[in-house]
Structure 1
Amino acid sequence: MSCATLFPRLLGDVGGTNARFGWQAAPGQALQNIRVLACADHAGIDLAIEHYLHSEGLDRPRAACLGIACPVTGDSVRMTNHHWAFSVQALQQQLGLQALRVINDFTALALSLPDLPADSKIPVGGPLRGAEQAPVALIGPGTGLGVSGLLPSQGQWLPMAGEGGHVTLAARTALEFETLQVLQHRFGHVSAERVLSGQGLEDLHAALRCVRGDTAPQQPLDAAGITRLALQQGESSCLQTLDMFAVFLGRVAGDLALTLGARGGLFIGGGIVPRLLGWFEHSGFRREFEDKGRYGVYLAEVPVWVIHTEHSPALWGAARALDQLH
């Protein structure tokens, strides 16, 4: 029996901070009972799911698909930026499911991209439309840094499941080099995720203070505080942090677009950049995205959009993943 016929469905988008769940009662029906739970409030994903089903008054689903923020390479799943770990087979048995599919959360988000409504895509330079039947890239700073993409194949889209957030971050200016040296001394390998994430924003701010020789006592700022002080009060050190964040994101996104040949466009997901809209479009992101020497002209023709939606589109991507499972 195809999973496309198994309903009702439980759909999940599980990040390092929040788990988002939705319910699809029948084929073609809209998602219902969408709810966001804090991962820290539940000892395991099984307890979070049970809490969701009980609190929403839902029956047992027949099928489920969970997009989760970690590599999914077999039965054993262990999150990268949270302590949840589980066996896919054991979870399926525990929930009494006829089918359970677990995929990377950005694979789920990538699967939703072809169906995103126009008003949920905020343009950040380049043409309004991407090339037809060309690869599409996806990157998203949040609790971690998600990376994925879509490849066209015989009229369908094939999602990529990779861990591109852990590529090595590169400096181009003296200030960037000094800043990354501070981070390297503290952490060893400085990946893109080490800077392009919520914790990364905090670590970047602290590293820049160190480079400036700022030894004045200060309570460490969290990512929300850095963003608020930068955008609402124009505080110089926080603005400098956001500026470097946007530049690094542009550089990594440009590398991704070149690697995939993403002439179909690049999407930015995750929870951080949508909160920067109004400022981000005029930041150094687009300049750095295109600043690839002879291939600047190539990237100038690649549109970039920030995904801005009320509910996680990865839930729809999880539904599509079930439709494709036989």
Structure 2
Amino acid sequence: MNSAGYALVGDIGGTNARFALVEPGSVQPLATMILSCGDYATLDDAIDHYLTKVDVGSVREACLAVASPVRGTAVKMTNSNWQFDTESVRRQFGWTGFKVINDFAAMALGIPHVVEKNLVHVCGGPGEGCRPRLVIGPGTGLGVSALVPVKNGWIPLVTEGGHVDFAPADDTEMAILKILKARFGRVSVERILCGEGLLNLYRAHAGIQGVGAQLPTPEAITAAAMTSNDSLARHTLNHFCQLLGRVAGNAVLTLGSTGGVYLCGGILPGIQDFLLASPFQQGFEDKGRMRPLLESTPVYLVTEACTGLLGAAEALENPEVQGFGKTHFMQLPG
């Protein structure tokens, strides 16, 4: 490909790294490629491999969304061994500018660019279009962000909402908390609402029921819940969905995000039918006096696989998004 004018965008999770090219003024990803993070010692190696594969010698600038807090120029991934210095990477590849943003902030920025056919209505509505929108979803971890409307677009909120405390609501959940607390100490909702969290929840339910936890992976649990008569797997996945609904509902109340809830991440599209029939809605709406507010808030499952790349492309030209590199990328105060 001719490298003239292209920018590089990436969505770097704990398991996979998605890369693509975008043309000036466009958010549509071109030459998208998914690489396994475990196959590369460093981020630099993965970028170099991608650019070689798509036959692009260099690009003008880049924006990477990473599953990590972004503070200063040193970035250490939360759920992988990659770490890097943003300015060192920028100099190595000769980019005129480089932005690094939180992966769920990018997911949020991508939501307005997702076409309607890739939004599956889960519950609620009609919502308030002028209010913030919540973006949340389980994958390698639990990502939480939101979009706040401004005059000419949206500002993404960078949060670590997946690390709030797990709050049990009944005796069974108190028992689950006790089991996980013995293992982890503090128990955040991410200890339950992510891939490994599903496995934690499954093993906890097995212990409470006094049965063997036969399934070794999150993928095996979801497959058994959807395709077999495995009552433990089905019970666990239903509880997982209900807890996700409860956490999402809490976040709506906290952020005032009655503009809508957008469920993202790597797990939910693969269990779409199960999610729609699960107690997610029950957990989401069960807020006592605030139930009418939750009932009027629409919830959508996002099935677009490149939402994070769309958001990284949006962030390239969005002056409200913090970045590193040349000073034409505005830094937000504080």
TM bracket (short chain):
over 0.9
Q: Check whether the contact 1:230–1:236 (CA below 8 A) recurs between aligned residues.
A: yes
Decide whether aligned partners of structure 1 residues 232 and 147 sit closer, same or farther in structure 2, where only a CA change above 3 A counts.
Answer: same
CA deviations 1:261-310 (Å, max 9, x no partner) are: 1111000100111111111112111111010110001110000001002x
Residue equivalent to 1:305: 300
Match of 1:202 in 2: 199
For 1:37-89, what per-residue CA distance to the aligned partner results, in whole angstroms no more than 9, with x for missing partners? 00000001110100111112112011000000010011010011111000000
Q: Is the partner of 2:59 in helix, strand or coil? A: coil
Q: Secondary structure at the match of 1:108?
A: helix
1:91 matches 2:86 = no
User: 1:221 aligns to what?
Assistant: 216
Amino acid at match of 2:137: G
More moved, 138-147 vs 24-33:
24-33
Q: Tell me the equivalent position of 1:212.
A: 209
Q: Identify the match of residue 282 of structure 1 among 277, 286, 295.
A: 277
Residue 27 of structure 1 and its aligned partner are, at CA, apart by 3.0
Q: Which amino acid aligns with 1:124?
A: V
The equivalent of 2:233 in structure 1 is 238
Number of the residue aligned with 1:188: 185
Is the 2:65–2:308 Cα contact (8 Å) retained in structure 1? Answer: yes
Q: How far 1:30 moved relative to its partner?
A: 3.5
Q: Does 1:173 pair with 2:167? A: no
Instruction: Output aligned runs, 1:241-256, within 5 Å.
Output: 241-256=236-251
Could you tell me which residue of structure 2 aligns to residue 151 of structure 1?
148
The reply to whether residue 43 of structure 1 matches residue 41 of structure 2 is: yes
Asked if structure 1 preserves the Cα contact closer than 8 Å seen for 2:27 and 2:310, the reply is no
Is the alpha carbon distance of 1:30 and 1:158 closer, same or farther for their aligned partners in structure 2, counting shifts above 3 Å? Answer: closer
Separation in structure 2 between the aligned mates of residue 10 and residue 221 of structure 1, nearest angstrom: 37
Shift of 1:313: 1.3
The alignment partner of 1:131 has SS state of coil
Aligned residues: 317
Corresponding residue to 1:135 among 132, 136, 140: 132
Read off the aligned partner of 2:44 and give its amino acid letter: D
Q: Distance in 1 between matches of 2:294 and 2:152?
A: 25
Amino acid at match of 1:322: L
| 311, 314, 324: which one aligns with 2:318 | 324
Match of 1:279, SS? helix
- Give the gaps of 5 or more residues in structure 2: 320-327, 329-334
SS in 2 for 1:277: helix
Alignment partner, residue 9 of structure 1: 7
TM-score (norm 1): 0.94
Q: Between the two proteins, what is the percent identity of the paired residues?
A: 40
Query: Unpaired runs of 5+ in structure 1?
Result: 1-5
Aligned equivalent of 1:56: 54
> CA separation in 2, counterparts of 1:220 and 1:298?
39
Cα distance between partner residues in 2 of 1:30 and 1:273: 23
Shift of 1:155: 3.4
**Counterpart in 1 of 2:322?**
none
Given that 1:7 and 1:63 are in contact with CA atoms closer than 8 Å, whether structure 2 keeps it comes out as: no
Q: Secondary structure at the match of 1:140?
A: strand
- Look up the SS of the partner of 1:27 in the other structure: coil
- The aligned counterpart of 1:3 is none
- Taking the aligned partners of 1:75 and 1:26, their CA distance within structure 2 comes to 25
CA distance in 1, matches of 2:162, 2:248: 10
Shift in Å, 1:243: 1.1
How large is the RMSD of aligned CA atoms in angstroms? 1.3
Q: Retained in 2: the 8 A contact 1:101–1:322?
A: yes
**SS, match of residue 14 in structure 2:** coil
Give the whole-Å Cα distance in 1 for the aligned partners of 2:268 and 2:229. Answer: 18
- CA displacement at 1:211 relative to structure 2: 1.2
8 A Cα contact 1:122 1:305, kept in partner: yes
Equivalent residue number for residue 21 of structure 1: 19
- Residue equivalent to 1:123: 121
Deviations 1:245-264 (A, max 9, x none): 01110110001111111111
CA distance in 2, matches of 1:62, 1:77: 22
SS at match of 1:11: strand
Contact 1:7 1:27 in 2 (8 A): no
Deviation at 1:156, TM superposition (A): 1.9
CA distance in 2, matches of 1:164, 1:187: 18
